Amino acid sequence: MAELSVIGISHQTAQVEVREGLALASDEAARVLAGIRAENVFDEALLLSTCNRTEVYFVPRTEADPLAYFLDHVARVKGVRPAAGADIFYRRDDADAVRHLFRVAASLGSQIVGEHEILGQVKDAYRLAVEARTTSALLNKLTHWAFRVGKRVRTETDLGAGSASVAAAAVDLARHIFSSLEGKTVLLVGAGQTAEAAARVLLGSGADRLIVANRTLHRAQQLAYDLAHETIDRAAADRAAAEAVGLDAIPETIAKADLVITSTASEEPVLTWRDLAEVLRTRRGAVLIVDIAVPRDVDARLGSLDNVYLYNIDDLDRLVRRNLERRRQDIPKAEAIVEYEVGRFGRWLASRQAAPTIRLLQQHLATIQKKHIDRYGKQFSQADRTQLEQFTQAMCKQILHTPLAMLKELSADAAPSERLAAVDLVRRLFDLDALEEDQAS
């Protein structure tokens, strides 16, 4: 029987209709975990459910079919049995399960490789499992190790670098001009879907004031209200954080804006040189204008003003494609980090077996015995010294007898988590990890 396994589905194995049936909200996941804890089929369990994957990491206690068992619990919580055949589920055991979680945390298994949300989702899943008390020594160690792997890949590779969507590219550009988006004002001209998404991301990234300019004032008011209530603090939104104006008010409002996103269906430029050149030239501070409309909404000559940074949809598209290519190029580097960490975790796990720990413990006591005999033995005659050696040897054996018997018993009978916890405690009590490192070096 494997010590650690994962079963699940992801965007690589199942269509969205199937994934929907197995997707679990936080409260549902908590209920599934509570059900698992009440029974003795899994010794430990961690449930990760995102829009792209639903999977359970577990330390099995019995030989029961884990997939059927898991689907039963999901069915109990959801009220219906998910319409998913066994063939779409993957199962990985031991080192492969470790590798799977590390790849997920590093965003190597994501639909958009390098996306940033997954590590937070793994952390949320772990928090739920800790609250449900379904994790113990093995999954605790594994999950924290996975966090570190995710962070290492993020900092040591370009896998998460840059934006991967037009909306995120607008934020990316803004962050090259402004160190923080807090206190910044976003002017959204028109109500195109991409512009709306970009405004949403900008507001979600800290910008705290929104002005929507639209041909129809009513639509502008509605959109300003919706976006502000969705992304800005509700109280601020009610005060004056969101404002709606007609297109004719742009010359007055653009002076207040730090970020402008335009996306109207107009055939002619909406932001013209004649109306805005003077306003933009005399305003204090830089303004980022992102023109997502086709045909373009912004007179290209405005981009020649010193404090105006003007980008159109092609520029953003070029930035996104470049970022995705950079991410793709760094996949081998990220995979190498994952592989290295899988090896390290494997070595850690092997060191938590009873046999090497027993050997280390015996060596540790023998070293202490030798050190003290060498130190004090000179005060005795050769015959007394021999007796002293025999006496201390017998004493060490006696001291070790109970812990060694316990470790051997755990090795034979106990669940992996129980054994790991006990071995870990013994190693910490006697500082055996340091001894092992000394021996290795």
Partner 1 sequence: MADLLAIGNWLLPLLYLVLLVDYGATFFLRMRTDARSPYLVVVVAAHLAFLVLRGVHIGYPPVTNAWEITSVLALATAGVYAWVELANRDRRTGVFVLLLAFLFQYTSSMLLAGRVAEPSEVSPGAVGMWARLHVVPALVAYTALAFAGVYGLLYLLEHRGLRRHRFGVLFDRLPPLDVLGPMAWHALLTGFVTMTVAIAVAPLLLGNGGGEMTAKVISKIIAGSVAWVVYAVAILGRWLGKWPASRISTIAVAGFIVVMALLTVSGLLS
Three-state DSSP class for residue 334 = helix
DSSP structure class, residue 61 = S
Query: Ramachandran region of residue 56, left (φ > 0), alpha (ψ -120 to 50) or beta?
Result: beta
Nearer Cβ to partner 1 (155/379):
155
Q: How far is the CB of 146 from partner 1 (least distance, A)?
A: 21
Interface mask toward partner 1 for 328-357; x: CB under 8 A: ------------------------------
Would you list the DSSP string of 146-208? HHHHHHHHHHHSSTT-S-SSHHHHHHHHHHHH-S--TT-EEEEES--HHHHHHHHHHHHTT--
Q: Does 313 bind partner 1 (CB under 8 A)?
A: no
Residue 301 binding partner 1, by CB under 8 A:
no
Query: Among residues 204, 303, 346, 377, which is the contact residue for partner 1, using CB under 8 A?
Result: 303
Residues 164-203 that bind partner 1 (CB under 8 A): 173, 175-179
Cβ neighbours for 326, distance < 8 A, ≥ 6 positions apart: 158, 161, 162
Of 67-75, 107-115, 316-324, 367-375, the window that binds partner 1 (rule: CB under 8 A) is 316-324
Q: How far apart are CA 261 and CA 334, in angstroms?
A: 35
Which member of 226, 315, 389, 418 binds partner 1 (CB under 8 A)? 315
Size of the site for partner 1 (CB under 8 A): 22
Q: Assess contact for 113 and 99: CB atoms under 8 A.
A: no
396 catalytic residue (yes or no): no
CB of 278 to partner 1, least distance (A): 14
Q: Which is nearer to partner 1, 139 or 319 (CB)?
A: 319
Burial class (CB in 10 A: 0-12, 13-18, 19+), 316: buried
Instruction: Quote the CA–CA distance of 337 and 108 in Å, as a whole number.
Output: 11
Identified binder of partner 1 from the candidate list 306, 374, 413, 438, rule CB under 8 A:
306
Stretch that binds partner 1, among 26-34, 54-62, 262-270, 311-319 (CB under 8 A): 311-319
| Minimum CB distance to partner 1, residue 207 (Å) | 14
Binding mask 247-286 for partner 1 (x = CB under 8 A): -------------------------------------x-x
Separation of first and last alpha carbons in the chain: 34
Smallest separation (angstroms) from partner 1 to the CB of 103: 22
Query: What does 385-438 look like in DSSP terms, one character per residue?
Result: HHHHHHHHHHHHHHHHHHHHHHHHHHHHHS-HHHHHHHHHHHHHHTTHHHHHHH
Minimal distance in Å, beta carbon 264 to partner 1?
22
Determine the 3-state secondary structure of 64 from DSSP: coil
Q: Strand pairing of 53-60 and 287-291?
A: unpaired
Nearer to partner 1, 175 or 229 (CB): 175
User: Please, what is the minimum distance in Å from the beta carbon of residue 345 to partner 1?
Assistant: 24
Residue 120: which H helix or E strand, with range? helix 117-131
What x/- string results for residues 381 through 420 when contact with partner 1 is judged by CB under 8 A?
----------------------------------------
Backbone angles phi, psi at 160, to 5 degrees: -105, 15
Give the residue from 70, 66, 26, 27 showing the smallest Cα distance to 50: 26
Nearest approach, Cβ of 414 to partner 1 (angstroms)? 42
Collect all residues with Cβ–Cβ distance below 8 Å to 246 and sequence separation of at least 6.
213, 214, 215, 217, 220
Which of residues 158, 291, 341, 436 is near partner 1 by CB under 8 A?
Answer: 158
Selecting among 1, 16, 25, 51, the annotated active-site residue is: 51
Q: Is position 153 an interface residue for partner 1 (rule: CB under 8 A)?
A: no
Residue 202 CB, shortest distance to partner 1, in Å, is 15
| Tokens encoding 424 | 């870990």
Binding site for partner 1 (CB under 8 A): 155-156, 158, 161-162, 173, 175-179, 284, 286, 303, 306-307, 309, 311, 315, 318-319, 322
Enumerate the active-site residues. Answer: 51
